[in-house]
Amino acid sequence: MAEIKESPLKKVCIICAKGSIEDVYATLVMANGAVMEGIETKVFFTFFGLDAITKKQMKRLKTATVGNPAMRAPGGLPFPTVLGMIPGVEAGVSAMMKSQMYKLDIPPVDEFLEMITAGGGELYACKLAMDMFKLEKEDLHEEVKGVLTVGDFYAMCGGEHTQIIFT
Amino acid sequence: MATKTYAGQTVEVNDEGYMVDPSQWNKEIAVEIAKEDGIELTDKHFEVLEFLREANEKGETLTIRRVGKSGIVDIKGLYQLFPGGPLKLSSKFAGIPKPASCV
């Protein structure tokens, strides 16, 4: 068998289509991590992922406490779904998630976006989803470079050693 | 463990080129390590390196955010000082272990 030679990753194109805390942060951590490794990074936010770059929503992201089978109470105790339905529980759980992250020096969403662009990473919004949610470019964080069609985005994802990641 | 000679001094390094013993570090060594990565160190670089060494000594987890809030340089500036590896390269030049953080 021929020897497989590893060659370093040069570019990542990350797509964020969901708007929960963990989905958005998965995207942001991966994007920032790539930038820190010197990898060219482009992030495309679409559907509910747009919340991460929408000024009004970016500070209000939540973790789902209903329909989330991985949800556990502190200490690993079971967390029955009915509990998650009680008003305030989702907000409480979300606040706790955020405080745990801040302890690890993971910044709030707006600051995280600025960290990514400070290193040369680029952020884009999906035109179709923007139209769907009736959003304008002014509704988005200043660091968002543009609003693209999916074709425009794919056109940026060419080149050797490029990966598209869907989080 | 490999050894390398920088500025006439033999230092222990791991297989990624990070110094094993931060106490063997000095400025001349830093200049030569940085040269290998094509970076010429300025006073600003050294301010960052000293900050990282101090934080490392205190056992703090290093992140680019921490450096960005140090008052020495913002994150954009940090990327300009250490292109392609704001935390990895700076830690390497500072003679401290490769950072184990993801941010």
Q: How confident is the model at residue A1 (pLDDT cuts 50, 70, 90)?
A: low
From the CA of B8, how many Å to the nearest CA of chain A?
31
How distant, in Å, are the alpha carbons of A25, A121, B41, B90 from that of A43?
12, 8, 32, 26
Residues 6+ positions from A112 with CB-CB distance below 8 Å: A25, A28, A32, A106
| Number of CB atoms found within 10 A of residue B76's CB | 16
In one letter, which amino acid is A72?
R
Residues B71, A27, A105, B83: is their CA dihedral positive or negative? negative
User: For residue A134, is it left (φ>0), alpha (ψ between -120 and 50) or beta?
Assistant: left
Q: Tell me the shortest Cα–Cα distance from A115 to chain B, in angstroms.
A: 7
Mean pLDDT confidence for A71-76:
88
Give me chain A's average pLDDT, please: 95
Residues of A whose CB is below 8 A from B64: 36, 115
A57, A141 contact by CB (below 8 A): no
Asked if A118 and B66 come within 8 Å (Cβ–Cβ), the reply is no
A29 vs B contacts (CB less than 8 Å): 102-103
pLDDT tens per residue, range A2-16: 677 788 999 999 999
| The predicted structure's pLDDT at residue A90 | 94
Q: Where are the domains of chain B?
A: 2-93
Residue labelled with tokens 């292109």: B83
Asked if the Cβ–Cβ distance from A37 to B63 is below 8 Å, we say no
Residue A26 makes CB contacts below 8 A (sequence gap 6+) with A167
* Residue contact B79–A119, C-beta within 8 A: yes
Chain B CB contacts of A33 under 8 Å are 102-103
**Inter-chain touch B75–A114, beta carbons under 8 Å:** yes
Contacts of B85 in chain A (CB under 8 A): 36-38
Residue B16 scores a pLDDT above 80: yes
For residue B97, pLDDT over 60 is answered with yes
In the predicted model, what is the mean pLDDT of chain B? Answer: 95
| Closest to A51 in 3D by CA, of A133, A128, A145 | A133
Question: Is the predicted pLDDT of residue A40 greater than 80, yes or no?
Answer: yes
Distance of alpha carbon A92 from alpha carbon A95, whole angstroms: 5
Contacts of A14 (CB under 8 A, 6+ apart): A27, A30, A31, A34, A41, A42, A43, A44, A164, A165, A166, A167
DSSP conformation letters of A41-89: EEEEE-GGGGGGGBTTTTT------SS-TT-B-GGG-B--HHHHTSTTH
pLDDT at A86: 94
**Is B102 a catalytic site residue?**
yes
Query: Which regions of chain A carry the CATH code 3.40.1260.10?
Result: 12-59+108-166
Write the single-letter amino acid at B96: I
Tell me whether strands A144-148 and A122-126 are parallel, antiparallel or unpaired: parallel
According to DSSP, the β-strands at A122-126 and A11-16 are: unpaired
Question: Averaged over A136-159, what is the pLDDT?
Answer: 97
CA distance A8 to chain B (A): 13
Looking at chain A, which runs of residues are DSSP E strands?
A: 11-16, 40-45, 122-126, 144-148, 162-166
Radius of gyration in angstroms for the set of CA atoms belonging to chain A, rounded to a whole number: 18
Q: Is the pLDDT of residue A143 over 60?
A: yes
pLDDT for B81 equals: 98
For residue A90, count CB atoms less than 10 angstroms from its CB and return exposed for 0-12, middle for 13-18, buried for 19 or more: middle
- A24, A49 in Cβ contact below 8 A? yes
Question: Which among B79, B85, B87 is the nearest to A118, CB-wise?
Answer: B79
The top-level CATH class assigned to A12-59+108-166 is: alpha beta
Tell me the pLDDT band of B26, cut-offs 50, 70 and 90. very high
How far is the C-alpha of B76 from the C-alpha of A116, rounded, in Å? 9
Q: How many CB atoms lie within 10 A of CB A132?
A: 12
Percent with pLDDT over 90 in chain A: 85
Does the ipTM surpass 0.90?
A: yes
B75 and A119 within 8 Å at the Cβ level: the answer is: yes
